[in-house]
Structure 1
Amino acid sequence: MGTRGDLVRALNAGADAGRTGDPVTACPYPSGDLRRSEWVRGYAKTARFADEQHDQERAADQGVYRKCWSPAWHRLK
């Protein structure tokens, strides 16, 4: 287990790992540890997965912008 500060540090470390493209298996915390859950949560918030990256690149190529997770697509003018 960890204190609140440990959990925040684990969340931030996971976010950093997600931004840099590290594999999710790089988590330094053992199974069953709350810090592991926070690390994975931070990782998932920032990691770009292959299908998301492809969708974003395709939308950029077509000049389309998606504002939220709504099904509505808007054209940039």
Structure 2
Amino acid sequence: MNANVIIYCRVSSDEQTLGASLDVQEERLRKYCNQMGYNIIDNISYREDESAKTFEKRPVIQGIMNYIRKNKGRVNKL
């Protein structure tokens, strides 16, 4: 399946950046998408390093959700 996907990388604390930095997450996600034949929309990854327990308090994920709403049917996976 050639799914259109958005890559979203997130860490919420300084400790998390040590083993699962945003760069490491993005590298792994891109590799996985390549292996699965997924198309990364506009070849962009979204990164967030906010400490928030809910989606409402995360600005990047809110932007992604708005994009998905405005582009119905274009995004198959997040």
Alignment TM-score, normalising by the size of structure 2: 0.28
Alignment TM-score, normalising by the size of structure 1: 0.29
Larger Rg: 1
